[in-house]
Amino acid sequence: MLRNRIILIVVSALVIVALFLLPKVVVNNDDQLASTRADSVNQAPDPHDSAPEGLVKHIAHMRGEYVASSEKQKKAIFADSLATLYAKANRFDSAGVFAEEAATFFNTEKSWFRAGDSYYQAYTFALNANKQGNLGEKAREQFQKVLDINPKNLEAKTKMAMTYLSSAPMQGVAMLKEVLEIDPKNELALFNMGMLSIQSGQDEKAINWLSQLIAVNPTHTQGTLLLGIAYMNTDQKKKAKEQFEKVKDMDKDPAVQATVDSYLKDLK
């Protein structure tokens, strides 16, 4: 029963979004990714967006400047600014489109990473399987360009690995292990390996990965919570309770407290 609950929580391999109810607004945007391409930027932001009115107006103004500009460098600068604004509005798919356009002009490791990370954020929130697949592919394209410039960018490689989990999970896991071979203390890779181990029912392996993570960073709240879940799934109730209590001390957010309390209740 507990494992079924975990599988539901980590749908799309994004456990932390569900567990911590991150204060990011998912804007209702059912249009296909192509509809946010630069050839449609003359349209104003959708009126149903939940972004603050001032931000929506700022986006509309910047889009107007972008459309009016004919000089490539200025257009790239406007595109970069639009990527920032759309990210603030939690429109990560649109942020990715404009970040990619800016990166095409600037062609730097930083600009390509920003584009990849924008698409990655959109991928993590996508509920439609087709859209998630498209966004994951776009994220991989940008991250690959990062790695072409700097093969040692392990954050890009780790996030790229996570986009494979809905289509080619073994390839994603292999990439995470490659990251850990280079950097055994890589927190993002350790966390993701622990999360995926729980998701696949390999709780002993999860305990191993997450224990390594906590040894590297004792204040890693998400990792501590997952470690408690892994102990819980292996019927190590005392150890599970210890981890859950640590989480309650580390993060006083009401959503986090409620989540932990639900697990502590299951231990009784």
- What is the pLDDT, as a whole number, of residue 50? 67
The model's pTM: 0.78
CA pair distance 158, 172, nearest whole angstrom: 8
Q: Which CATH number fits domain 1-20+184-268: 3.10.450.50, 3.30.450.20, 1.25.40.10, 1.10.150.120?
A: 1.25.40.10
Query: How far is residue 159 from each of residues 65, 131, 145, 263, measured CA to CA in Å?
Result: 33, 18, 13, 28
The pair of structure tokens assigned to 207 is 């305990």
Four-way CATH pick for 44-167: 3.90.226.10, 2.60.120.10, 1.25.40.10, 3.30.56.10: 1.25.40.10
- What is the Cα–Cα distance from 139 to 103, expressed in whole angstroms? 13
Q: Which residue has the tokens 């994004």?
A: 14
Give residue-wise pLDDT tens across range 200-225.
999 999 999 999 999 999 999 999 99
Cα 146 to Cα 182: distance, rounded to the nearest angstrom: 17
Residue linked to tokens 């892994």? 230
| Gap between the Cα atoms of 150 and 170, Å rounded | 24
Q: What is the pLDDT of residues 234-256, one digit of tens each?
A: 999 999 999 999 999 999 999 99
